[in-house]
Chains A and B, each alone.
Chain A
Amino acid sequence: MSASQAIRRYAKAMLDSASETGQQETRFKDFQLIGNTLNSSPDLGLFLKSPVIRQAQKKAVLRDIFKGKVDSATMQFLSLLSDKKREALLNGIATSYMKQYKDFLGIIEIRVVSSDPLSSDQIKQLEKELIKLTDSKVELSTEIDESLIGGILIQIEDTVIDGSVKQKLSRLKEKYTSAVFE
Chain B
Amino acid sequence: MSQVRPDEVSAILRKQLTGFEGEADIYNVGTVLEVGDGIARVYGLSKVQAGELVELPDSLDRDGNPVRGMVLNLEEDNVGIVLFGSSNLVMEGHTVKRTETIASLQVGEGLLGRVIDPLGKPLDGAGAIAGETIELPLERKAPGVIYRQPVNEPLQTGIKAIDSLIPIGRGQRELVIGDRQTGKTAVLLDTIINQKDTQDTDTPVYCIYVVVGQKGSTVASIVNTLKEHDAMSYTTIVSAPASASAPMRYIAPFAGAAIGEYFRDTGRHALVIFDDLSKQAVAYRELSLLLKRPPGREAYPGDVFYLHSRLLERAAKIINNDDVARKMNNIPKELAPKVKGGGSLTALPVIETQAGDVSAYIPTNVISITDGQIFLDTDLFNSGIRPAIDVGISVSRVGGSAQVKSMKKLSGTLKLDLAQYRELEAFAKFGSDLDAATQRQLKRGERTVELMKQGEYKPLSVDKQIALLKINSEGLFEKLPVNKIREFEDTFLETIGVKFSKKMDELRKSGVLDDEFSGELVAAAKSTIDQILAVAEA
Contact = CB atoms under 8 A, between A and B. Distances in A.
Contacts of B26: 159-162
Contact of B45 (A151, A158, A162, A167): A158
A30 B32 CA distance: 29
Interface stretch (A35-43, A51-59, A75-83, A171-179): A171-179
A159 B95 CA distance: 12
A173 B214 CA distance: 36
A158 B44 contact: yes
Interface in B396-414: none
Contacts, number: 46
B392 to A, nearest CB: 55
B20 A171 contact: yes
A179 B16 contact: yes
A64 B523 CA distance: 110
Contacts of B20: 168, 171-172, 175
Nearest to B45: A158
Nearest to B17: A172
B28 A167 contact: no
A159 B44 CA distance: 9
Interface string A96-112: 00000000000000000
Given A158-B45, A158-B46, A176 B16 contact: yes
A26 B30 CA distance: 32
A151 B25 CA distance: 12
Interface string B31-47: 00000000000001111
A19 B130 CA distance: 66
A49 to B, nearest CB: 16
B24 A162 contact: yes
Interface string A143-182: 0000000010001011111110001100110011001010
Nearest to A178: B128
A132 B77 CA distance: 29
B366 interface: no
A97 to B, nearest CB: 16
A162 B27 CA distance: 8
B120 to A, nearest CB: 13
A125 interface: no
Contacts of A175: 16, 20
A162 B77 contact: no
A4 interface: yes
B161 interface: no
Residue among A155, A158, A176 with max Cβ neighbours from chain B (10 Å):
A158
A155 B27 CA distance: 10
Given A4-B77, A172-B20, A159 B28 contact: yes
B257 interface: no
Contact of A163 (B16, B24, B29, B30): B24
A158 B28 contact: yes
A160 B25 CA distance: 8
A167 B12 contact: no
A8 to B, nearest CB: 8
B12 A158 contact: no
Contacts of B29: 155, 158-160
A167 B46 CA distance: 22
Nearest to B46: A158
Nearest to A168: B20
B25 A157 contact: no
A119 B28 CA distance: 28
Contacts of B27: 159-160, 162
Given A4-B77, A168-B20, A181-B12, A158 B30 contact: yes
Contacts of A161: 24-26
Contacts of A160: 25-29
A158 B20 CA distance: 25
Interface of A: 4-5, 151, 155, 157-163, 167-168, 171-172, 175-176, 179, 181
Given A159-B29, A168-B21, 6 more contacts: A161-B24, A161-B25, A162-B27, A163-B24, A171-B20, A176-B16
The 7 A-B residue pairs whose C-beta atoms are closest, nearest first, are A163-B24, A158-B44, A162-B25, A4-B77, A161-B24, A160-B29, A161-B26
